[in-house]
Amino acid sequence: MSQISSTAQVKRELRFLRRESYMRGYAKSALSSQFRDASAFDAFYAALTDERKDEFLRVGSSYLFLVKQGNWHVEVEGSNPVIDYFTNSFKLVSLFSLIESLSSEKHRDFYEWLGHVGEEIFPIANKAAIKQLHERYKATFGSIRRCVAFFEHLSSRQQAELCNSIQFDGTPVKSIKEVAQFLYNLRSKFVHEGELVLDIANVPVMSRHKNVNTLIELSTPKLFEAFEEGVVAYFNHAT
């Protein structure tokens, strides 16, 4: 059985919904901040189809264990068991994995995408040409596009607060797209280069990114709040 058909079979089984008796409690614990009370959560959940309930339970429970109540523990003599920038690095990767998992678009590698664009692009003349193609790929099919779409569903208030939390050369970023791209780049630096995420902390952090002075005032609770709002907005939008 192919990977695609296997994934489809898992979805048909509604494996999270079959464990609704406790999965619902996990999702409620993870996302209750977005509802005025228990009855509001119940009404939101009841309005979802079975397939959407299954997806909601998957995301909510995964977020609770991997991020909101999950920490990366270190078992090294003389070390603290939980080190903020270690655990925050893994949490940021988990957040973006969950965001990407909410998209119905199948991931396609850049080189695979090149093969589907058409023969008119070959031969690729130089580095400038390949860079233009890569920008085109990111805009139409890259993972960052899915992540930007998630952040664009946040309320205007939430978007403004996130934009104001990131400054480049003393100026807050102008769009939520820049916020999503900046955070995704932090995630990618850790995934691909082992560069720990130091910028997301409970105190303001000054650093340099791409030869630009940055001031980041984005704490993990604030990032979690934005993610939780985005999850609920996604399911409201998709219902």
Read off the pLDDT of residues 103-150 as tens digits, 9 standing for 90 and up. Answer: 755 556 666 656 556 556 666 667 776 767 666 665 555 567 888 999
Of the pLDDT bands very low, low, confident and very high (cuts 50, 70, 90), residue 237 is: confident
Give the position of tokens 């690095």. 89
pTM for this predicted structure: 0.81
- Between CA 72 and CA 63 the distance in angstroms is 14
Cα–Cα nearest to 108, from 134, 137, 133, 129: 137
169, 207 in Cβ contact below 8 A?
no
What is the pLDDT at residue 6?
A: 46
Work out the mean pLDDT of the chain and round it to a whole number. 87
* Strands 205-209 and 171-172, bridge-based pairing: unpaired
What is the pLDDT at residue 167?
A: 97
